[in-house]
Amino acid sequence: MMIFMTFSLIILLGFFLVDLISRETNLKLKFGLSYPVGMGVTSIYMFMLDVVGIKFTLLLINVLNFIIICIILFINRHYQINRIKSLKFNFTFRKINVRRINFVWGFLFLLLIIVISSNVNRNIYWPVYAYDSVAGFDLSAKAIAQEGKIAVSLFDYGLNLRRGVYPPLSSTAFSIPYMLRMSSSKVIMSFFFISLIMAFYGLLRRYVKSINAMFFTLLLAITPEMYGYGVLSNSNLPGVIFIGIGGLFFCNWMIERKQSDLIIAALLLGLNVWLRSDGVVFNLAASLILLIDSIKKRNFKSFLVFSIISFAPFILWSFYLRFKLGIVQDRFVNHPYFDLQRLHIMQLFLNKILISIDMYGVIPILFMISLILNWKQLKTSKSIYPIFIFLSLFLYLLVYYQLDDVKQDPISSMMRNSFRRGYLVFMPLYLFYISISQTSIKFFNIFELQRKHK
Amino acid sequence: MKKKKQVNKQKNVLLQKLDISTKKYLFFSFLIIIFFTLIFSGMYFCFPTYKNVFLDKIYKNTRFIFKNKNVTLEQKYKIRMGKDYQFLRVIKKRTPEDAIILFPPKEFFKNTEFNQKGSWGLKDPTWATYFLYPRIVINEKWEKDFPEIYNKYTHVFLMNEWGYDKLEYPVPINTEKLILPRVKGGKK
């Protein structure tokens, strides 16, 4: 009962918050963003409680979540009341029209359900065993659940320093099952996996038809690295949601200029740096594009709103690390330099990783093909997607170039392990662009022609 | 009678004969499903990585899980972590919850039955701490980096003749693996 209530409150918190920001968004997208946003907000006030010295317990978290939900509902009350009044419950029996049933979508959905249920089975059955989780996020989570604070005693013992410097979203998310006396926290990965699938599908459905959206959602779910990280308790899969979906919201805002899309993009990219500090490069990429756009339009309101929301968590965590935990992160060479050998090593790994079928399946190759086939699209507003992708990739590589080999693992090891995992966040961006391209839309429209629509 | 008529009307609706355009739609849907099946089959046979996802990660794992539904958590850890996890259980039984346990340096774990590959295993104090928490595991690195913590160790993991000089009472040296308190009779 407690398990159901705790997770329901987190999901409802995220759902009502997304609903408050973006009322017109479809339900699938809202539900897809519910858990990540709900957990992100929960993690932020757990951090606030830690800063003011209040020990958080499961009861306190549930009560605070309930209060925040009530506040959001109160703010949004007029809209919610009108929405409930407009609901019509029609129980009359209707004739089944076979031509309205989308069998192809049903087939693809069935395959997706098989993938999702396999993910859930594995996460419920197997305990945490991956090294990064055991010696990092999950160890922090156990300590957070026991001690009721983020600055756990592990720091005093000199343990966990490498993973402990990560911002607290993943550790606090994994701590919730331990507070609930569950034996493993891996069920959290299933929440994130299902959220990613729903959010990606919901976002695609705003722009393409159902079979197109379902096919590319299924392709995302069966990406080898995506499925692999969906059953490991670490921060890579959550990063795909915050960066991938957040980046897409940002690009959609650049085209459609719906204010709610910008707020959600800022929120998701803000939660991204609350998950992993190195994700700040994506916030930088978006801010840079937004700054240029603001200069052209001579209106900096959107730039300021986006920057404040998306960078605030990064600044908060940096201050906390320095002043509360006494940890100074000094992993970078703090001046520009040119090292041809280092660039050559990076290039060798990039050749293997960027279009690796073993890790990312056919997605990077399809993206390249899509760019070529739809080259005319690069002259339209849809060019924002490849611009954001390539700018983010450049900044991400710059981070690795600037890493100091003396204070960090050598560049070859960092490219082979860390960069390879981080590259996963580009997959939703690639797939989204492929799906909304003219070639893809025309191709999948063939499958939609025969259906009888309203 | 009225109820019977209503039920019959519903049955007729459900069993209504399909018209020609609906049959065409069903046939076309079937063709598209075959098309997508061929695409996924092509991915399965042409790309080993997708075969690994479909066959090993999804099918074989699901089959294993259903066949071994009643396996306990301890048994699952043993399957994944072997002797390292088994010995951790011994350490857990022999130490109190507030123990700080001094482990041998990493090189002493070479050529033992414990895991040698990758980072995980008893050779890594942080990994061991996860399973023994709230007990803390440290090793010789702490003597230089965190001497105030190092001096607080309460138990020693003796292995391959290592660790006997860390105890404050004499113990005959042997090659057995032992967990002994630093001070005879209990922690300091």
How does pLDDT run across A247-274, given as a tens digit for each residue? Answer: 999 999 999 999 999 999 999 999 999 9
On the CB side of A62, CA atoms within 13 Å amount to: 14
CB contact under 8 A, B146 and A157: yes
Q: What is the mean pLDDT of chain A?
A: 90
Task: Tell me the average pLDDT across A361-372.
Answer: 94
Per-residue pLDDT at A216 exceeds 60: yes
Task: Tell me the average pLDDT across A447-453.
Answer: 62
* Chain A contact set for B139 (CB, 8 A): none
Query: By three-state DSSP, how is residue A166 classified?
Result: coil
pLDDT of residue A17: 95
Task: Return the DSSP state at A23.
Answer: T
Q: Which of A93-102, A119-128, A129-138 is the least confident region?
A: A93-102
Task: Tell me the average pLDDT across A372-378.
Answer: 90
CB contact under 8 A, A158 and B145: yes
Which amino acid, A14? Answer: G
Residue among A98, A156, A160 whose CB faces B126 most closely: A160
Per-residue pLDDT at A135 exceeds 90: no
pLDDT of residue A129: 87
pLDDT of residue A450: 56
* Chain B contact set for A164 (CB, 8 A): none
A99 vs A93, B7, B27, B36, CA distance in Å? 17, 24, 11, 20
Compute the nearest-CA separation of A345 from chain B (Å).
Answer: 23
pLDDT of residue A228: 92
Per-residue pLDDT at A295 exceeds 90: yes
Percent of residues, chain A, with pLDDT higher than 90: 65
Per-residue pLDDT at A92 exceeds 60: no
In this structure, the strands spanning B136-138 and B178-181 are unpaired
Chain position carrying tokens 């757990």: A46
What tens digit of pLDDT does each residue of A340-356 get?
888 888 888 888 888 88
What tens digit of pLDDT does each residue of A142-195 get?
999 999 998 888 888 877 666 667 899 999 999 999 999 998 999 999 999 999
pLDDT of residue A352: 86
pLDDT of residue B12: 55
pLDDT of residue B119: 81
Backbone angles phi, psi at A318, to 5 degrees: -60, -45
Q: Which tokens go with B127?
A: 């990994």
pLDDT of residue A89: 60
Residues in chain B: 188
pLDDT of residue A160: 62
* Chain A contact set for B26 (CB, 8 A): 98, 103
A24: region left, alpha or beta (phi > 0 left; psi from -120 to 50 alpha): alpha
What tens digit of pLDDT does each residue of B82-108 get?
888 888 989 999 999 999 999 999 888
Cα separation of B60 and B57, whole Å?
6
Please provide the DSSP assignment of chain B as one string: -HHHHHHHHHHHHHTPPP-HHHHHHHHHHHHHHHHHHHHHHHHHHH-HHHHIIIIIIIIIHHHHHHHTTT--HHHHHHHHHHHHHHHHHHHHHHS-TT-EEEPPPGGGGTTSSS--SSS-STT-HHHHHHHHTTSEEE-THHHHH-HHHHTT--EEEEBTTBSGGGSSS-----SS-EEEESBTTB--
Per-residue pLDDT at A99 exceeds 90: no
Residues of chain B with pLDDT under 70: 1-20, 186-188
pLDDT of residue B11: 54
CB contact under 8 A, A103 and B127: no
pLDDT of residue A387: 95
Name residues whose C-beta falls within 8 Å of residue B87's C-beta, 6 or more positions apart in sequence. Answer: B114, B122, B177
A114 vs A108, A173, A221, B133, CA distance in Å? 10, 25, 11, 36
Q: How far is CA B46 from the centre of its chain?
A: 31
pLDDT confidence tier of residue A454, bands split at 50, 70 and 90:
very low
Residue among A93, A118, A126 whose CB faces B76 most closely: A126
Compute the nearest-CA separation of B172 from chain A (Å).
Answer: 31
pLDDT of residue B49: 92
pLDDT of residue B20: 66
A373 vs A378, A416, B8, B86, CA distance in Å? 11, 31, 56, 57
